[in-house]
Amino acid sequence: MRTDRPASASLSGMDQGERVMTTNSASIRFGADTNTPPGADRHAAEAPGAVRVGAAALVPDSTAWHADEFVADPGGPLPSATPVGPVPVPDAARSGSAVPMEVPAADERVSVTAKDNVIEISAFAQPPGQSGIGLVAPFDFALDRELWRWAPDDVSLYLTRLPYVPVPVTVDMAAALSDGDKVRRATQDLLAPEPLVVGYACASGSFVDGAAGEKRLHASILDAGAPAAVTTSGALIRALEALDARRIAVVTPYVDSVTDRLLGFLGEHGIETVSSVGLGLLNHIWKVTYSEVVEAVRDVDRPDAEAVFISCTNVLTYDIIAPLERMLGKPVLAANQVTMWAALQAIGRSAVADDQWLVSATSRTAA
């Protein structure tokens, strides 16, 4: 956490070693680095629920936060303590929920949990590292939140959308979304935060022009400067190869002409579609309910299908993948799932979904 105070700043009335000040209702611990305290027992003046932030620990009691506030001068030493009155404790603090608390030295905020433990943030601690994944999505993509569910806590997603196309979800829309120049420009828009991989998060746009079209999309992303690239349809083929599944059943939200393009794409890669069903939707695909998807999967499954694929990144699937797999006894793949799985694999990470067949099977293989 930033304190906006030089490491060499002194504390009024104290040396730079860690010291404890105790008032009638709070203890405040000072020290350059809470992880390496000199002197006395660091816990001597701490009550349950103490929170040590940089060089300070504040203790909540049952009714109010009491503390002597020290205001830092960014250019010099801290002045003397200035008492501040009690601040009401939010109800959440009494129940152990996170509550925001002002950090006096920098007018910043920190999340505090009033439990029987101590949260330590060293004054010299580095900010947590993160890896970035860039994602190019269709203009009507509405499921950003679902993509995040597969991402580990230290992975950030950078999303951008392709330009609006005033046509329904047809072959024409899919072809417009696969325009290489537009995908290249969208990729360039994502590069500033330095993602480690850029994914094209659209199933129809990446299968509409067959295997060759998917390869062109992949190349467009790399040509734009991305360090690595994945597409939804390319990720599907990789996932089926990882599971050694060559005969599948397919569920799509599309009209037949778009679904046929998917089946043709699969055939080019040696994947046999034993059965398929399309919901015939031309718009608002993100509004398809879990129950509709479950019913379609149940109807399309066949004993000779080695897996089921649910197409379209605008179809919500995260919560029903594992239950469907248990019901059918076989892998169930979904467009957003394979996109995130492949993007995370590209940067050496695993998706967060241990109960989903694809994730658990490939994690075991990697181990």
Per-residue pLDDT at 129: 79
Other Cβ atoms within 10 Å of 292 Cβ, number = 14
Quick one: 152 and 111 in the same domain?
no
Q: Which residue, of 92, 121, 150, is where some domain finishes?
A: 121
Per-residue pLDDT at 363: 84
Beta bridge partners of 14: 11
Q: Which of 32-46, 102-116, 148-162 has the lowest mean pLDDT?
A: 32-46
Kindly state whether residue 10 falls inside one of the protein's structural domains.
no
Average pLDDT, the chain: 78
**What is the CATH number for 151?**
3.40.50.12500
Domain boundaries, position 27: 19-121
Kindly state whether residue 334 falls inside one of the protein's structural domains.
yes
**269 versus 30: which is more confidently predicted?**
269
Per residue in 210-247, pLDDT (tens digit) is 999 999 999 999 999 999 999 999 999 999 999 999 99
Alpha carbon of residue 74 to chain centroid: 35
Quick one: 235 and 96 in the same domain?
no
Question: Dihedrals φ, ψ of 295, to 5°?
Answer: -65, -40
Kindly state whether residue 4 falls inside one of the protein's structural domains.
no
Distant-in-sequence, close-in-space partners of 251: CB < 8 Å, separation ≥ 6: 276, 277, 278, 279, 293, 296, 297, 300, 308, 309, 310, 311
Q: Which residue has the tokens 């094209």?
A: 200
**Above 50 in pLDDT, residue 208?**
yes
Kindly state whether residue 297 falls inside one of the protein's structural domains.
yes
Q: DSSP letter for 11, please.
A: B
Q: How many Å is the Cα radius of gyration of the chain?
A: 27
361/323 Cα distance (integer angstroms): 16
Beta bridge partners of 1: none
pTM attached to this predicted model = 0.68
**34 versus 154: which is more confidently predicted?**
154
Per residue in 38-74, pLDDT (tens digit) is 444 444 444 444 444 443 334 444 333 333 333 333 4
Q: Which of 40-54, 184-198, 313-327 has the lowest mean pLDDT?
A: 40-54
Question: Dihedrals φ, ψ of 28, to 5°?
Answer: -125, 125
Quick one: 265 and 294 in the same domain?
yes
**119 versus 321: which is more confidently predicted?**
321
Per-residue pLDDT at 217: 98
* Mean pLDDT value across residues 123-129: 64
Per residue in 277-318, pLDDT (tens digit) is 999 999 999 999 999 999 999 999 999 999 999 999 999 999
